[in-house]
Amino acid sequence: MEILKIDDISVAYGNIRALSNVSMSVSEGDIVALIGANGAGKSTLLNAIVGLVPLSGGTISFSGETICQSKHQKLSTDQIVRKGIALVPEGRHVFADMTVEENLDMGAFMVRDQSLVERKKAEMYDFFPILGMRKKQKTRSLSGGEQQMMAIARALMSSPRLLLLDEPGLGLAPLVVQDIFNKIRIINEENKVTVFLVEQNAKLALKTSSFGYVIENGKIVLQDKGESLLSNERVQKAYLGA
């Protein structure tokens, strides 16, 4: 069953077209990867899904309901989040002068039941033990990997059905990246959260994903099972250094 359907969308920044007639889908329960070079349109696509950039063409649907369409925005970003989509943006965008706990509270700002918020925080501290140890510390004191874990935990505080991850491994040491991706697998398999993943580390992204897309200059140029894209000669030459 499709949880996310992107139908012929385009996005332009003035005279510059960032996305051109992009169509793709994400099935419920999957991890789907989007790979491509810097400037190919990956972040723009994720931002379009949550209504942060307007569409100049096409529609985006979530669980069969249109959430974004060209000409006028169907739903606001907070309404889209309420539907069950959460974005972990590139660069994490943590609240550096807030504590870890305060950052998690910000992730649950739309949850009215305070007891549920406390339960969700306890779950996050269980899942990311280092956050429980550092919950009263200012976020700026955390390492890059710890900040990325916190950004993911903050997104999970809203109990999303679809988690959008923009470059979760960016700027992190290889062992930390591996740990982050292990957590992503658990979030998908045990918490039953569908994941749509943008990642510069194409090999790791495709290994982790059941399906993948390749974007070049704002257009989808390849799509296949993750393992098939790993063995694709064009992908190997362009993204895997083969």
Domain ranges of the chain: 1-84+162-173+195-242
Q: What value does the mean pLDDT take over residues 31-58?
A: 94
Please give the CATH number for the structural domain made up of 1-84+162-173+195-242: 3.40.50.300
**Region of poorest pLDDT, from 27-36, 39-48, 214-223, 232-241:** 232-241
What phi, psi does 142 have (nearest 5°)?
Answer: -80, 155
Please state the pTM of the whole predicted model: 0.94
Determine the pLDDT at residue 100: 95
Region for 76 from its dihedrals, namely left if φ exceeds 0, alpha if ψ lies in -120 to 50, beta otherwise = beta
Determine the pLDDT at residue 17: 92
Round to whole Å and give the CA distance between 79 and 217. Answer: 30
Structure tokens at 92: 């994490």
Instruction: State the average pLDDT for the chain.
Output: 93
Burial group, residue 233, by CB count within 10 angstroms (0-12, 13-18, 19+):
exposed
pLDDT at 219 over 70: yes
Round to whole Å and give the CA distance between 76 and 23. Answer: 22
Round to whole Å and give the CA distance between 134 and 146. Answer: 9
Round to whole Å and give the CA distance between 84 and 113. Answer: 17
Q: How many secondary structure helices (H) and strands (E) does the chain include?
A: 10, 10
pLDDT at 242 over 60: no
Q: What value does the mean pLDDT take over residues 41-70?
A: 95
In tens, the pLDDT along 99-152 reads: 999 999 999 888 888 888 999 999 999 999 999 999 999 999 999 999 999 999
Using 50, 70 and 90 to split pLDDT, how confident is the model at 92?
A: low
Round to whole Å and give the CA distance between 214 and 222. Answer: 5
Determine the pLDDT at residue 229: 96
Q: Is 55 helix (H, G, I), strand (E, B) or coil?
A: coil
